[in-house]
Amino acid sequence: MITISLCMIVKNEEQSLHRCLHSVREVADEIIIVDTGSTDKTKEIASSFTEFIYDLTWNDHFAEARNFAFSKATKDYLLWLDADDEFEEADRLKFKALKDSLDPSVDSVMMPYHLAFDADHNVTTSLKRNRLVRRAAGFRWEGPVHEVLIVSGNVIQSDIAVTHKKDKAYTDRNLRIYQKRESENESFSPRDLYYFANELKDHGLHEKAVTYYERFLATKQGWREDCFAACLKMGYCYGNLMNRQMQLRTWFRTLLYGKPRAEMICRVGNFFYEDNKLELAIYWFQKATSLGEPTDYAGVIDHAAWTWMPHLHLCLCYDRMGQKQKAELHNEIAYVYNPTHPSILHNKAYFANLRREEKAL
């Protein structure tokens, strides 16, 4: 059986740290906590789980802090989490089983990262991360912000999920770090360009975001998943800049980085729906329904686009065209995927009322 060191960097995480550390019981043999300046009860909570607590002066560099945490570990494998992450009980039990059976020649285990959920706790957004790595491989983190763990060798996939339960408001911290680096004329890696563009987009600086997305794509060195996402997000920026022609063109640029994905297809379908070009909208939404499950992709997955969302839009299209039976059929398919969504339930009541009115005639 392998041994595992959990390595974390924390600051003012008293609201979530206990829950996170409790979720790795009987999984982590060693817990490394690197505190970057907490002023609350974070270290007190951590001390109830481990004696290995280290202080590190924060230097606006996440990779530096994570590498420091890795350097303190002594076990066979390194597991990393943020304080607002946890393993739900079913995943914790699967992790225990993996710990008993993992081939020690494995260099990294990729795990799903569940980022967002609907009201019924169904996963709506997820991606994959190299979550458990062999310490002897010497893998290192890179990047001051939106850091990445660079791995190679024998990488396997697992269905053990890490669940993200964010309990803090988003801030402009990352944007400020990038802007400071920009003002000091620091050299940006392709990954830096992409994530700086994301921060700009998220803070409403759409025109500058487009510039940085283009700079990122021009390097031709980005990960396929990031290139695809850059085109989707650049389309969002063009929409906010009221340039719909460039919005559509940019979404089609995703095809340079792989087969059509439901996230792009649903955006294109909605583009034509908004223009009342219903036959074109139907064409694209039907394409989305034919793709099946997303596979072989480590980037962000919008599960709605792959399941109920195109059917809901097909319902709207067919209803607007007066084809009520087709409209109801697609709403029923959407209902199978998402039986509590307010729009789908509203449509069920709408079609039920139509049938009552028809019988009354």
- Can you list the alpha helix ranges (DSSP code H) found in 221-360? 224-240, 244-252, 262-274, 278-289, 303-306, 309-320, 324-337, 342-360
User: Which class is domain 268-361?
Assistant: mainly alpha
User: Is the pLDDT confidence value at 63 over 90?
Assistant: yes
- Band of the pLDDT at 359, cuts 50, 70, 90? confident
- Mean pLDDT in residue range 23-39: 97
4-164 and 268-361 in the same fold: no
What global pTM score does this model have?
A: 0.90
Options 1.25.40.10, 3.40.50.720, 3.40.50.300, 3.90.1150.10; CATH of 169-258: 1.25.40.10
130, 8, 6, 153 alpha-carbon torsion, rounded to 10°? 30
- Mean pLDDT in residue range 323-343: 97
Closest CA to 236 of 264, 274, 261: 264
4-164 belongs to CATH 3.90.550.10: yes
**pLDDT, tens digit (0-9, with 9 covering 90-100), for 140-155:** 999 999 999 999 999 9
Q: What is the pLDDT of residue 360?
A: 82
Q: What is the pLDDT of residue 132?
A: 98
Residue 347: burial class (beta carbons within 10 Å; 0-12, 13-18, 19+): buried
User: Is the pLDDT confidence value at 296 over 90?
Assistant: no
SS3 content of the chain, % helix, strand, coil (to 5): 50, 15, 35
CA distances from 336 to 235, 247, 302, 340, 344 (A): 31, 32, 17, 10, 10
Q: What is the pLDDT of residue 156?
A: 97
**pLDDT, tens digit (0-9, with 9 covering 90-100), for 72-127:** 999 999 999 999 999 999 999 999 999 999 999 999 999 999 999 998 889 999 99
User: Is the pLDDT confidence value at 271 over 80?
Assistant: yes
**How far is Cα 31 from Cα 15, in angstroms, rounded to an integer?**
18
Structure tokens, 339: 């039986």
**pLDDT, tens digit (0-9, with 9 covering 90-100), for 179-218:** 999 999 999 999 999 999 999 999 999 999 999 999 999 9
Kindly list the domain boundaries of the chain, sorted by start residue. 4-164, 169-258, 268-361
